[in-house]
A and B are shown apart, each in its own frame.
Chain A
C-alpha cells in the first residue's frame, strides 16, 4: 500500500513502483491477477485557505483516503479466507493539481475501480477523459444532484448522499416535529444556491413552507478577529428581523463560513438546522447504534482522527467491491458490476438497514443521520413516510422524477 508523500519523493517512489509493476506484468505475474483487485483513490486536498469556522473542528486533509484504507483492510481480513487480495493505489493530489494526471497514473497501473473524493467540476473533468471510459468510478464527495440527474453516467456510482437526499432527510424530521414554517438563510457560493434549491424542493415535498429567505450579505471574514460575538451578536438579530414568523431557521452554508455563528444568536428563540446546528449527514462521530462504535474504533485506531462523511463514503465503496468480489468469487469487472447492480446486493453499513444502489441513477440507497453537534437526533427516513418500494427511496430523486438516462 502506498502512503501519501509529497513532491519529488512521491514522484520518485511512483516511478520506482511503476517499474516494479511493469516488470511483474511482463513476467509470470499474470497468474495471480485473477484474485487481486486494485482500487484507486483519486482525491484533491482541500484548499489551504479553507478552514472550518469552529476551532473545535480539526482540519482534515485526507478525508476519503483514510476511509478507503480501512475498507481495504476490512476486505483483506475477509479476503484471506477466500484467497482474494485488495490493493489501494493512492492518488492524493495537491489542491491545485490537475486530477486528470492522477487518472493517467491510475490507468498506467491498470486500475479499473476508482474512488473519487473530488468536487463536481473536477469529477466531471476526469469522467470526460477518454481514460475514464472503460473504468468504474465511485463518487465519495460531490453531493450534486446534477451528477445523478442529467449528467449521470453508467460508469459512475454515488456512495455519498445527494443534496436532495440530505435536504429530504432534514425535511422529514422537521415534518415529524411539525416545525413546518422555515426561514432559509443561504451563503454566496454556487453550492449554497444549489442546496437552497434542494431545501425549497424538499419543503414542498414534505408539506413545509419557506416563509422567508435571505442571503447572508458578507463574504468569508477573518474569523480569528471575530471570535463569534464581537459584531455577530448584534448583526445576526438585525439581519433576521425582517424575516416572517418561523418555527426553524434553516442554513445553507456548505463551505462553513458563517452558519456556525447562528445558533443562539437568532432574534427569535428558534432552533438552527441545515449545514450547521442540526445537520443531515451520512456519518457522525456521535452515531453509536447498529455496531457503529466498532467502525469508529477501527477507524480511529488507524487514522488517529474521527471518521468524516467522505471517509465513510470511501469505506462503503471499497466494502461494496469487497462484498461483490466475495459473493461472485471474482474480481472481474463484468461480474462485480452485475452483482453491484443486481437485486442481491445488500451491504451492512452500520445504519440499521442494508444499503444498495438505485438502478435508475446508481445512487447509494441509504438512511441519513440527523445529528446535533454532540448527539444523533434521529435517522431518516422517518416513520410514516411511505413508499411503494422502500421508505429509503423517499430520500432524494425517485425513479419517476429522475432526469438520468443511461
Chain B
C-alpha cells in the first residue's frame, strides 16, 4: 500500500535529531494536487509531501495529537494521517462532499459539513461510526466549536446563516442571518464571541454568545482594489484577545483587526486568492494559503509584515499547525 521510501528516511532522520530541532510543522492541503505539503515552521521549507485522497480541503488534529484528519471531498471520506510516519493510515466514510471538519475537544468526534447534502455529520473517530446527521441550511460550509465544546456553529453558504447547534442534543437551537455566502466561523478564546466571515458580503459578523445576536459587523475596504474582489474567507484570532486576521480572497490581502475595538488596523499583501489562515503555537507567525499563486505566505505577527512565500502544491486550501 504505502511505500517505506523518502518519508521513511525522513522519519529516521527526525528520530535521530535532538528534540530541540523538532520544529513545529505546518500542514497545507493542496486541493488540486491531492496532497498535503508539510512545512518546517523554523526553516520555512517544505519537508514532505503526503499523498491523500481526491480534493483535500479542511484538516483537524485528533485530541491525542497523533493523527491529522483530512476531508477528501471527492472521495467522500476523511483520510487519517499518522503524524509520526506522515502517511495515510486509514480512511473513514464521511457522507457526501465533506468540506470543513472540526474535532470536539471533549469527545472523539469529528464534525463534518456535507456541502451537497445540507447536513452536518458527526463522526466518532474511535469507534469509526456515525453519531448523528444534523439537517441545516443550503450548502453547509464553516464549522466551529465553542472552547467548552457546548456549541457547534455551522454556516450555510446559500442560506446565509450561522446555525447554532447544541452538541448534547445535536439540534439546531438558534439561527442567525449573516451576510452573503458565509464561509468560516471562529470562536474567541474565551468563548464569548464567534466571528463569521461572509465571502460575497465581504464582512465579518461578530456574534455575541450571550444572546446570539450580531454585536458588530466589520467591513473591509482595500484602497485601489475592486470592491468585488474583497471577499472575507478565513479568520484566525489570537488567544490574547489582541488581533483578528481575516483572509480577503482575490484581493490578495489579509486584514488585521483589533479584536476588542473591531477596527481594521492594516491590510497585508500576500499571494493570490488568500483562503485560510493558521497561527503557530506561540502566535508569533501567521501562515496563509494562497490558492491561485500556489504558495503560503508567512507573516510576522508583531511587525505585521510578510516574511516569506513558500511554494506548495496546486490550489492550497487549508492550513493547520501541529500542536
Chain A residues within CB distance 8 Å of chain B: 74, 77-78, 81-82, 291, 294, 297-298, 319, 323, 326-327, 346-348, 352-354, 390-392
In the complex, what distance in Å separates the CA atom of A81 from the CA atom of B199? Answer: 21
Of the candidates A323, A327, A348, the one having the most CB atoms from chain B within 10 angstroms of its own CB is A348
Report whether A354 and B180 are in contact in the complex, using a CB–CB cutoff of 8 Å.
yes
Report whether A78 and B160 are in contact in the complex, using a CB–CB cutoff of 8 Å.
yes
What are some 23 contacts across the A-B interface (CB < 8 A)?
Answer: A74-B158, A77-B138, A78-B137, A78-B156, A78-B160, A81-B163, A81-B175, A291-B115, A294-B97, A294-B116, A326-B177, A327-B177, A346-B179, A347-B180, A347-B200, A348-B158, A348-B160, A348-B181, A352-B250, A354-B180, A354-B200, A390-B228, A392-B228
Residues from chain A with Cβ under 8 Å of B199 in the complex: 348
Distance to closest chain A CB from B184 (angstroms): 14
In the complex, what distance in Å separates the CA atom of A387 from the CA atom of B269? Answer: 23
Residue of B nearest to A77 (CB): B138
Query: Within 8 Å of chain A (Cβ to Cβ): is B167?
Result: no
Report whether A346 and B137 are in contact in the complex, using a CB–CB cutoff of 8 Å.
no
Query: Within 8 Å of chain A (Cβ to Cβ): is B201?
Result: yes
A-B contact count (CB 8 A): 64
B interface residues, tally (CB under 8 Å) = 28
In the complex, what distance in Å separates the CA atom of A294 from the CA atom of B158? Answer: 10
Interface SS of chain A: helix, strand, loop or mixed?
A: helix
Query: Within 8 Å of chain A (Cβ to Cβ): is B86?
Result: no
In the complex, what distance in Å separates the CA atom of A319 from the CA atom of B115? Answer: 18
Distance to closest chain A CB from B3 (angstroms): 32
Distance to closest chain A CB from B14 (angstroms): 38
* Given A77-B138, A77-B159, A78-B160: A294 touches B115 (CB 8 Å cut-off): yes
Distance to closest chain B CB from A155 (angstroms): 25
Report whether B116 and A291 are in contact in the complex, using a CB–CB cutoff of 8 Å.
no
**Would you list which residues of chain B between 242 and 261 have a CB under 8 Å from chain A?**
250
In the complex, what distance in Å separates the CA atom of A78 from the CA atom of B135? Answer: 11
Residues from chain A with Cβ under 8 Å of B229 in the complex: 353
In the complex, what distance in Å separates the CA atom of A347 from the CA atom of B229? Answer: 14
Distance to closest chain B CB from A294 (angstroms): 6
Residue of A nearest to B201 (CB): A346
As a 0/1 sequence over residues 113 to 144 of chain B, the CB contacts with chain A under 8 angstroms (1 = contact) are 00110100000000000000000011100000
Residues from chain A with Cβ under 8 Å of B115 in the complex: 291, 294
Distance to closest chain B CB from A406 (angstroms): 25
Residue of A nearest to B229 (CB): A353
